[in-house]
Amino acid sequence: MSTTSGTSTGATTPSSTRAKPASKWEAAADWTDGRLGIYSLAKANLRKIFPDHWSFMLGEICLYTFIIIILTGVYLTLFFKPSMAETVYTGSYVPLDGIRMSEAYASTMNISFEVRGGLLIRQIHHWAAIVFVAAMLVHMMRVFFTGAFRKPREINWLFGAGLLFLGMFDGFMGYSLPDDLLSGTGIRFMEGAILAVPIVGTYLEMFLYGGEFPGQDIVPRFFTIHVLLIPGIMLGLLVAHLILVFYHKHTQFAGPGRKEENVVGMPLMPVYMAKAGGFFFLVFGVIAAVSAIATVNPIWSYGPYRPDQVSTDAQPDWYMGFSEGLIRVMPGWEISVWGGHTLNLGVFIPLMVFPLVLAVIWLYPFLEAWVTGDKREHHIADRPRNAPVRTAFGAAWISLYLVLLIGGGNDLIATHLHLSINSITYFVRVSFFLLPVIVFIITKRWCLGLQRRDKEKVLHGRESGVIKRLPHGEFVEVHADLSQADKFTLTAHEQPQPIELPAEVDENGVARKVGRLAKARAKLSEGFFGDSGQIAKPTAEEHAEITSGHGHH
């Protein structure tokens, strides 16, 4: 359509070949299409189909909280002064009257106590950030456990990973800006962490802080990174992420009529425009109400930052909690290397393990793809039970993450459960290595059990709860046959077979060299899809045998 109008504008005749628009709206749309080509764009997308499932909306929570953060963040920049210049507080908050503080802290006090609605916007900004990162993590877990990261979505998985990583750091920098006693302690921690980097640590520290800690530069520099650099990159990644979601079309769960080759759901216009658009307002409304109800980051209670003061309960926001756990439970190893140089392993090892914890889960999809050797596209989301090794791996990762969160909050757990901080630390040290293994084994067996139950249900039907007495006195429970739809759904998943190594000796009797990598791959494949990795699906023959043989039907 746009091409015809394009050629016609080049013609000498003033009139277009296009039919006369029926209304003013159509005329406006025609005008826009002539310049932007909106009709072709809309043709592909206006009735775009989205499948209905609550877990598919987790990503939207992330998107909407991100928008909320940007809106409220822009408002906050109108009042916030990113300066570490000293000033004496004279505002309306009595307990800090006459106290020395930085302009950054004073202006945050001003936003909280003098600007009407400023406190609300601050709290919306902060609560939205807390929910944003939480939603990203849960969204990532949904994608992980349903195998929605498989081809063609691997790159989008990495975009999402990048968003989570940047979101965590932008959050850290954001709550560091007010220069209060709590966040200042966090910036001090960062100084120590940077100093622990071998060889270049002191240089990095001097360059980042503009001299010795705390200097005058860190808050303004964080401000620029927090409001400009990271959000800019995130916005780019976000757009790319969304474009790919549209381009790939959404995954869907198996069900009658739902195939790899289609996507079943409701159209964007009008249903998802209303649902997704409405969901933005729902998310914003909930966050606004939460911000009316609960305080977040009461910087006035913390007081301004001074390097010689501290309050207990010195924790980062939750998304940095697992790194806090790593730091807290690490033994104090410090060694001398290269003739008198100090290597602070007590800080450096956690610093290196921190990205590793995340990298492990982000790289898993590529390990799985290598093991399966599967080059096909996958659009049907797995039920977690049907991929026991993957599910067990994910659960083990979550247990690791949770145990580190416990480590990060060990002091509060100690006081609230009347435990010793030292015992909790020892517990976390052991659990860090042991718990993921235990959780892996339990989860895998659990999945296999659920697979067995599915098989049982398909073959014998569902327990109806009706007890029947047979003529000879035996009591049996009547099993109701599943509907065709349920039978299909429960057997729709694929069951890959483990790859087999080529024979040691080829057909000509020549010894074949099988690389160590190939052997490892075969071993892993056996673990994934061998007898211990999955329960064989019911076959048509098994079904026929049971339904014809005997039946409680």
Partner 1 sequence: MKKLSARRRHPLAALVVLLLALAATGGLYAAFAPAEKAQADTSAQSLAIDEGKKLFAVGCSSCHGLNGQGTSDGPSLVGVGSAAVDFQVGTGRMPAQQPGAQVPRKKVIYSQSEIDQLAAFVASLGPGPVVPKPEQYNPSTDPAKNAADISKGGELFRTNCAQCHNFAGQGGALTNGKYAPSLEGVDPKHIYEAMQTGPQNMPSFPDTTMPEEQKRQIVAFVRHTENDEPNPGGLTLGSLGPVTEGLFGWIFGLGVLIVVAIWVAAHTTKAKKS
Partner 2 sequence: MSHDISDNSPQAHGASHGSEVAEHGNPFADPGLPAHLPRRTDIDERAAKRAERQVSLLFIVSMLATIGFIASYVIFPIDKIVYIFPLGHVSALNFALGMTLGVALFCIGAGAVHWARTLMSDHEIPAERHPIEADDEVRADVIEQFKTGAAESGFGRRKLLRNTLIGSMALVPLSGVVLLRDLGPLPEQKLLHTGWDKATPQNPIALINMNTNRPMKAEDIVQGSLTFAKPEGLEEDAPDFQQQIAKDALMLVRIAPGDLKDQQSAELGFDGILAYSKICTHVGCPISLYEQQTHHALCPCHQSTFDLADGARVIFGPAGHPLPQLKITTDEQGFLVATGDFDEPVGPSYWERPR
Binding positions for partner 2, 355-384, rule CB under 8 A: 377, 379-380
Among partner 2, partner 1, none, partner that 298 touches (CB below 5 to 8 angstroms by kind): partner 1
Among partner 2, partner 1, none, partner that 220 touches (CB below 5 to 8 angstroms by kind): none
Residues 173-192 touching partner 2, rule: CB under 8 A, are 185, 188-189, 191-192
Q: Which of 31, 246, 281, 433 binds partner 2 (CB under 8 A)?
A: 281
Q: What's the closest the beta carbon of residue 414 comes to partner 1, in angstroms?
A: 4
d(CA 200, CA 205): 9
Q: Which of 107, 183, 297, 410 binds partner 2 (CB under 8 A)?
A: 410
Among partner 1, partner 2, none, partner that 247 touches (CB below 5 to 8 angstroms by kind): partner 2
Residues 292-351 touching partner 2, rule: CB under 8 A, are 292-293, 305-314, 327-334, 336, 340-347, 350
Q: What's the closest the beta carbon of residue 20 comes to partner 1, in angstroms?
A: 40
Among partner 2, partner 1, none, partner that 97 touches (CB below 5 to 8 angstroms by kind): partner 1
Q: Which of 279, 318, 364, 401 binds partner 2 (CB under 8 A)?
A: 279
d(CA 405, CA 325): 6
Q: Which of 10, 14, 98, 257 binds partner 2 (CB under 8 A)?
A: 257
Query: Could you say whether residue 155 binds partner 2 (CB under 8 A)?
Result: no
Closest CA to 186 of 58, 95, 313: 313
CB 504 within 8 A of CB 511: yes
Query: Could you say whether residue 453 binds partner 2 (CB under 8 A)?
Result: no
Among partner 2, partner 1, none, partner that 117 touches (CB below 5 to 8 angstroms by kind): partner 2
Q: Which of the 8 DSSP states describes residue 535? A: P
Q: What's the closest the beta carbon of residue 291 comes to partner 1, in angstroms?
A: 8
Task: Decide whether 184 or 388 has the Cβ nearer to partner 1.
Answer: 184
Closest CA to 59 of 124, 156, 151: 156
Q: Which of 239, 274, 437, 505 binds partner 2 (CB under 8 A)?
A: 274
Task: Decide whether 37 or 91 has the Cβ nearer to partner 1.
Answer: 91
Task: Decide whether 206 or 435 has the Cβ nearer to partner 2.
Answer: 206
Three-class DSSP category at 359: helix
Task: Decide whether 4 or 202 has the Cβ nearer to partner 2.
Answer: 202
Binding piece for partner 2, criterion CB under 8 A, among 14-22, 265-273, 397-405, 445-453: 265-273
Closest CA to 385 of 204, 213, 146: 146
Size of the site for partner 2 (CB under 8 A): 133
Whole-number Cα distances in Å, 175 to 181, 186, 226, 311, 324: 11, 9, 10, 16, 16
539 contacts: CB under 8 Å, gap ≥ 6: none
Task: Decide whether 341 or 445 has the Cβ nearer to partner 2.
Answer: 341
Please give the radius of gyration of the chain, using alpha carbons only, rounded to the nearest integer. 30
d(CA 56, CA 40): 27
Q: Which of 30, 205, 317, 454 binds partner 2 (CB under 8 A)?
A: 205
Q: What's the closest the beta carbon of residue 10 comes to partner 2, in angstroms?
A: 26
Task: Decide whether 127 or 440 has the Cβ nearer to partner 1.
Answer: 127
Could you give the string, one character per residue 216-245, with x where binding to partner 2 holds by CB under 8 A and - elsewhere?
-x----------------------------
d(CA 372, CA 154): 15
d(CA 137, CA 143): 10
Residues 483-522 touching partner 2, rule: CB under 8 A, are 484-485, 487-488, 490-496
Q: Report residue 202 as tokens.
A: 């002191």
Closest CA to 144 of 325, 366, 332: 366
Q: What's the closest the beta carbon of residue 99 comes to partner 2, in angstroms?
A: 10
Closest CA to 191 of 210, 213, 220: 213
CB 425 within 8 A of CB 329: yes
523 contacts: CB under 8 Å, gap ≥ 6: none
What is the pairing mode between strands 380-381 and 252-253?
parallel
Q: What's the closest the beta carbon of residue 131 comes to partner 1, in angstroms?
A: 4
Three-class DSSP category at 86: strand
d(CA 394, CA 365): 11
> How many beta carbons lie within 10 A of that of residue 7, not counting itself?
10
Q: What's the closest the beta carbon of residue 163 comes to partner 2, in angstroms?
A: 22
Q: What's the closest the beta carbon of residue 187 comes to partner 2, in angstroms?
A: 10
Q: What's the closest the beta carbon of residue 192 comes to partner 2, in angstroms?
A: 3
β-partners of residue 124 are none
Q: Which of 105, 213, 440, 529 binds partner 2 (CB under 8 A)?
A: 213
Q: What's the one-letter identity of residue 137?
A: L
